[in-house]
Structure formats: C-alpha cells, structure tokens
Copies of this chain bind each other. A is one copy, B any other.
Amino acid sequence: MKESARLSRAENKIVGLVPTMGALHAGHMALVERAKRDCTQVVTSIFVNPTQFGPKEDLAKYPRTFESDATKLESAGVDAIFAPQPADIYPPNFRTYVNVEGLSDRLEGRSRPGHFRGVATVVLKLFEIVQPTYAYFGRKDAQQVRIITQMARDLNLNVEIVICPIVREPDGLALSSRNVYLNPDERKAALVLHRALTAARDELASGTRDALSIQSTIQKTFAAEPLATLDYAELVDADTFEPVTRVSRPCYILLAVHIGKTRLIDNLYLEPSSANPDVFDFHL
C-alpha cells in the first residue's frame, strides 16, 4: 500500500481515502461516490480496528463481510482496497498512541473509554500509509469526525477531511453496520432515535431555544419506547462538544441508545441559517 501511495504521489494523483470497518452499507457507499467525484484515485480501507473496541464490546461479533464488500467497492469503481490484518497494523511491541485530549473524554469517549485513542491512532496510521489528499467520514459519528478534524489540524497533517451527510433508511433509521444485530422488534424500536431527533427539530423550528426543554422532549420520546435505554441525549456546541443551555450557534443533538444489546448512535446537526441567523438549518 505504501509503494502504491508513493507511485500515486509521483503521478500527482488526487487520492481519496474512505476508511471503513467493512460491513459496507449505503452510508459508506455515499462516501465512496463523493470520493470518486473529487479524486483521480480512490482507496477504501477495511479494517475492524481492535484498539477502538472496549473489552466488553462487540469486536469478536462485529460483522465481517469482505467478499460482498469487495464486490460493492469494485462496482463503485474503487481503485484499491486496503485490508490489513490486526498484526499488520499492531505488530508486537506496538506502543504509540495519539490522544486528542479533552474532546475524547466526553459522550462516546465516556461511554467507551479508550475508544477515541484507538480511532485517532488508526486513522493517523491509515493517513501515513495511504497518504491521501482527501479523507471521507460520515457525520453520523459526529464526535469522531470532530476529533479527526482536530487531530489533522493539530498535527499539521497533509490531508483534507471531508464530512458527508448521514444516510438513512426510508423510515429514518440511520445506516449502521450494527443494524444487522437488531431483531424485528428491535428494528422497529430503533426508530425511536429518529423520532426523538425529529421531535427536537420540530420544537427548535417552532422557536424553542432552551436546551432543557428540548432534552425533555427527547426523554419523553424515549420513555414511550420500552425496548430502548438511553445512554445519553446531549445538546452540545459543535466545536467544543461541551453542553449548551441555549441554542444560538452550530450545535449537535447527540443520542446514544441501547436497543436490547445493540448500541446505536444518531445525531441532528443544526446551524444558524446564513440567510437569517434566527432560523436554523437542520442536518438530520
């Protein structure tokens, strides 16, 4: 992969990297399509990164579907698949980690200690190996995207991070490789995330700016869904990921939920409209 990257650089190719853990869905493929539009060479990495899983998490059972992933990527015109083994990425005596301090301790980082240390480290390694001009990430993992953007800025990385919208099922469920864990009842119950976010959006659109009021709406929505257990529902500043009490600048409403044994996340991104800052643009 490094030799291929070196050649691509020598040929002045515009290289796009789409880092994935495989089990590809339409969300991943939207990243690939965007990369195909921007770049002259598109690389997709498939690597279920052990260092971003906690000891009690689903590393062993995380879906691995390499053959069908490869078929999808080939159809989409990807130029290369980089699919290393764990021992390639973490050889014996591996001990260097990247920490985006502060941003990594809250929300997902609090529920999943060490998660973002693993994410930042593997993403930096993928950048060094593939040497992309652009790298593509989905906004569903909002905090991950924020941390990677911060890392790229802080470490002067020679890559531009491109953030792409969430892709949803027709009924509103955000696409996730973990959706395959859901049984039919849980699949129905999982719609509660989208329902809570749309309720919050409607309340914001009707003029509410108070974070507590919006959180109360979200909590009521979850209370009506017995299969769902809320991990967190937070309204945070889109830059600092610190809680806000009043919505007046770019923000996220972030949800993390257990549906049975499956943990799902989703979010709503909102920013003051450029035409009228009293009105919000919503990205759901």
Interface size on A, residues (CB 8 A): 28
Q: Which residues of B contact A102 (CB under 8 A)?
A: 95
Q: How many copies does the complex hold?
A: 2
Are B150 and A131 in touch, CB under 8 angstroms? no
How far is it, in angstroms, between the C-alpha of A131 and the C-alpha of B129 when the chains are bound? Answer: 14
Partner of A128, one of B97, B98, B125, B155: B155
Q: A156-B125, A156-B129 are in contact. Are A97 and B95 (CB under 8 A)?
A: no
A97→B99 contact, CB < 8 A: yes
Q: Contact at B154–A94, with CB atoms within 8 Å?
A: yes
Contact mask for chain A residues 99-141; partner B; CB cutoff 8 A; 1 contact, 0 none? 1111100000000000000001100110011010000000000
The answer to whether A96 has its CB under 8 Å from any CB of chain B is yes
For residue A90, give the distance in angstroms from its CB to the closest CB of chain B.
Answer: 9
Per a CB cutoff under 8 Å, which of B12, B125, B131 touches A155?
A: B125
Q: Looking at the complex, which one of B98, B128, B156 makes contact with A157 (CB distance below 8 Å)?
A: B128
**Which residues of the other chain, B, contact A120 by a CB distance below 8 angstroms?**
96
With a CB–CB cut-off of 8 A, which chain B residues contact A61? Answer: none
Interface of A with B (CB < 8 Å)? 2, 9-10, 12, 94-103, 120-121, 124-125, 128-129, 131, 150-151, 154-158
